[in-house]
Structure 1
Amino acid sequence: MDPITIDPYFTLIIATLVLLVGRLMVDRIRFLQNFNIPEPVAGGLLAAMIIYILHASTGMSFAFDKGLQDAFMLIFFSSIGLSADFSRLKAGGIGLVVFLAVVSVFILIQNAVGVGLASALGLDPLIGLVTGSITLTGGHGTAGAWGKVLEEQHHIAGATDLGMAAATFGLVLGGLIGGPVARKLINNMGMKPITGGSGSADTGNEYADDVFEHADQRRLITANSAVETMALFAACLAFSAFMVHPDVKALFPPKFTLPQFVWALLFGVLLRNILTGAFKVNMFDRAIDVFGNASLSLFLGIALLNLKLWQLLDLALPMLIILAVQTVVMAVYAYYATYRFMGGDYDAAVLAAGHCGFGLGATPTAVANMQSVTERFGPSHKAFLIVPMVGAFFIDFVNAFILTGFANFLGHH
């Protein structure tokens, strides 16, 4: 039976309903709250399971329009670029640079483990990237973006679906291992839990970056700031479309291929820092935050509506094996490398918990991990300053270039 095509208008309507159902699920189900599962992921997976049941019982399937999905993905990555102010590097100091280096080395290890295990299990090595930093360090947004690239440029069928499943797995595991790793390190130091509570999570949040950690925070936006912000997004999208045009791509070396979302992100960074640095423009960060978070939610909602669970059954066991090994590697690396290179003190233990969070899941998972530790053992201002900046901004650039190198190398072998 041919799939039933859903046009952009109804795709958007259904995606917003998925988000509302997801919000209701997260509000009511404690498991989803404890593991910080995003609302679009909760609602989207429920929708994917309903579609799977329909397919299994009646043979029906649906093809939701992906034009809007791609547009929301580009807006989301543009928002990361437009929020990346290089002046924040000064606030993080040398600790931020060292942590970024530690995390960057782990991305190389994560991809090497994924590619090696995929090859050993008889899968396409590129699938190893999907169960590597594409989904684990990158999260759902990067999974959807790279899934599209792998499907269209490298002909890896179901890469997006596999990526969404792996990213969801990573979110749960990242939330599970961060706290225990940090507590083991803290116990080794002989520290005891503080008594009477400290409110450390509140204190820590003063140092956390608001862009992705507090998506529900009320932000005052005027019509003018909204229009001007949309103009910035339009510039990023137009530049990215220009850079992937066949005539422009022909000007670059054959092996030099950057996905469109990377161009959108890079131009966002340039636009942000040129406007604020050279022209002293006051950027509307609150509007950028709102558009970015809303676009990410809608992108995930549409991507998960297109999740065809029946296509994943053949890959289920190999994928679980690779992800289980990745989880062990993450815990060991955070325990020995992250902790040691970040100073071997209490702040380093909290940073190790944060690394587990976004090394397998996402930045909000990292913050949740750190809060679970600081609520018991006291505040860590250093960790709450460094992790959101590295996890939400700078690591995306490193991950994008490492992945591009891996994909181009594997794609030509």
Structure 2
Amino acid sequence: MDIQLDLVQSSALAMLLLAGGEFARRRIGFLHRFCIPAPVVGGFMFAVLVLLLRQTDVAQIQLDTTLQTPAMVAFFTTIGLAGSLATIKKGGKLLLMYLIACWSLAIMQNVIGMTMAKVVGVEPMLGIMAGAVALEGGHGNAAAFGPTAEAMGFEGATTVAIAAATFGLVAGSMLGGMTANYLVARHNIEIPEKAGVLGKLATAGAVIKEMAVGDGNKGSVATVTRTEDESSSDRGANYGSLLTVVVLLATLMVLGTVLGDWLSALTGLTLPAYVGAMIVAVIFRNVNDKFAWFKINDDAVELISKFALGFFLTLAMMSLKMWELASLAGPLVIILVVQLAFILIFAVVVVFRMLGKNYDAATMVAGFIGHGLGAAPNALANMDAFNAKFGVRSERAFLIVPLAGAVLVDLVALPWIVWCMNLVS
């Protein structure tokens, strides 16, 4: 039986699966503990159902995912709007050091992926999908770059990227806090005084709740500073603020598409659809910060960002062709094990020392492993669990890690990924 769902039916199903994934994530301990995004839960379960129906010759389901690309571009445009230079300056030298570590990791993940792909006998492009695309990039980049790789002729790229991102999500959540605890014990790190900071620990839970609602890659930097005791009356989104942000995002998306086409023609590179929009959004955000042309409601941006991410990622997960992973399972596991070993050694031997070999550094290592293998919510969950053990919150870590892992890593990671993909195509 051949079941074909049209645009409206496919979109409605995606929304139902997104809501179902959120319901499951809030009530199943494992999913909540490891910050598994709701789109991954709902979309993956549907992909497994499609696989079972196909393999048993019961039915084949065809989806119309036309809206996936516009939703993806909208999400990454909201991420560009979070790239405020004023916020970046607050991190100082430590932010720069952490960024260098993040950029180095993204570079090495692709080098390792391409090298190991040749060793195990698969296409180097699939090594890139199991490199910075899926690990440093998370499910968002996996769903964005996978179709681009498939359009370049590499079958199964999206499935490999999503599978690698899921592996990284779980591994990053399990190993981040453990590694930070090891560093404290190994180096006999002095724990800062608890006085004056115990009350601040409660804010970490609010931060995680804000950022973990389905963010498979990034989270709005604006959420990093939000706490539950803020008044919603002066922050809440209404029709007027939503309309302003929607018009702004639509305009930036159009301008970004024009810029992306121009950059593609100028450089000869194949660029994902959202690159131009994100560049335009970053430029607009910082010019607007200086001249104050528009008052941008952060709550409205955040709501649109969360929905756009959840919707496009659910569509991407729903349309996974799981059967394409069978012949790649063995080589993919080998590549991911090597990637995992590298990030642990790099974090313990290099990153921890770069950041000062202290309590802040150990906390940031927990976050580094979280988003270096998974996503920004995993980084925050790792740091929160580690800090809660000692009763002291690392303010520097909670400022720097989300800022770097949510936006700034892409300044190097995205061009590097695009260059590598064009190199091996």
Whether 1:271 aligns to 2:262 is no
The reply on whether 1:186 has 2:188 as its aligned counterpart is: no
Deviation at 1:25, TM superposition (A): 1.3
Shift of 1:207: 8.6
Report the secondary structure of 2:274's partner residue: helix
Distance (whole Å) between structure 2 residues aligned to residue 345 and residue 294 of structure 1: 38
Out of 257, 260, 284, the residue aligned to residue 241 of structure 1 is 257
The Cα shift of 1:241 comes to 2.6
Q: Is the 8 A contact 1:22 1:41 kept in 2?
A: yes
Shift, 1:259, TM fit: 2.1
Residue 11 (structure 2) aligns with = 12
SS at match of 1:62: strand
Do 1:213 and 1:364's aligned partners in 2 also have CA atoms closer than 8 Å? no
Q: CA deviation at 1:121?
A: 0.9
CA distance in 2, matches of 1:195, 1:94: 25
Query: Which structure 2 residues correspond to residues 399-410 of structure 1 after superposition, within 5 A?
Result: 399-410=413-424
Distance in 2, matches of 1:156 and 1:225, equals 42
Q: Structure 1 residues 385, 131: CA separation in 2 closer, same or farther (over 3 Å shift)? A: same
The match for 2:201 is 201
Secondary structure at the counterpart of residue 293 of structure 1: helix
CA contact (8 A) 1:276 1:282 kept: no
Structure 1 counterpart of 2:76: 77
Match of 1:223 among 218, 230, 239: 239
Identity %: 32
User: Using a 3 Å threshold, how does the CA distance of structure 1 residues 127 and 216 change in structure 2: closer, same or farther?
Assistant: farther
Q: Alpha-carbon deviations, 1:77-121, whole Å to 9, x = none?
A: 001001211111111111111110111111111111111000111
Contact 1:72 1:296 in 2 (8 A): yes
Shift of residue 397, structure 1, vs aligned partner: 2.4
Which residues of structure 1 form unaligned runs of 5+? none
Q: When the two structures are superposed, what TM-score results if normalisation uses the length of structure 1?
A: 0.92
- Paired letter, 1:43: G
> What is the Cα deviation at residue 12 of structure 1?
1.2
Q: Distance in 2 between matches of 1:11 and 1:184?
A: 47
Instruction: Look up the equivalent residue of 1:167 and give its one-letter code.
Output: A
1:213–1:363 contact (8 Å) kept in structure 2: no
Alignment partner of 1:112: what SS? helix
**Distance verdict in 2 for CA 1:284–1:203, change over 3 Å:** closer
2:206–2:227 CA contact under 8 A, matched in 1: no
2:328 is matched with 315
Cα deviation digits, residues 30-78 of structure 1 (max 9, x gap)? 1111111011111111111111111112252222212111111001100
Matches within 5 A, 1:163-178: 163-178=161-176
> Separation in 2 of the partners of 1:90 and 1:167?
31
Partner residue in 1 for 2:214: none
**Could you tell me which residue of structure 1 aligns to residue 217 of structure 2?**
none
8 Å Cα contact 1:108/1:402 also seen in 2? yes
Give the aligned partner of residue 393 of structure 2: 379
8 Å Cα contact 1:76/1:295 also seen in 2: yes
Measure the CA separation in 2 of the matches of 1:327 and 1:335: 13
CA distance in structure 2 between the aligned counterparts of 1:344 and 1:214, rounded to whole angstroms:
26
How much does 1:406 deviate?
A: 1.2
Residue matched to 1:345: 358
Give the deviation of 1:278 after TM superposition: 2.7
C-alpha RMSD over aligned residues: 2.4
**In 2, are the aligned partners of 1:130 and 1:143 still within 8 Å (CA)?**
yes
Alignment of 1:35-184 (within 5 A): 35-152=34-151, 154-184=152-182
Q: Within 2, Cα distance between the matches of 1:214 and 1:58?
A: 51
Partner of 2:213: none
- The answer (yes or no) to whether the contact 1:131–1:166 under 8 Å persists in 2 is yes
Moved more, 113-122 or 191-200: 191-200
What is the SS of the residue equivalent to 1:312? Answer: helix
Relative to structure 1, is the Cα distance of residues 27 and 145 closer, same or farther in structure 2, using a 3 angstrom cutoff? same
1:370 aligns with 2:370: no
* Alignment: residue pair count: 406
User: Separation in 1 of the partners of 2:239 and 2:260?
Assistant: 32
Q: Secondary structure at the match of 1:298?
A: helix
2-structure distance, mates of 1:215, 1:92: 17
Q: Counterpart of 1:157 in structure 2: which amino acid?
A: E
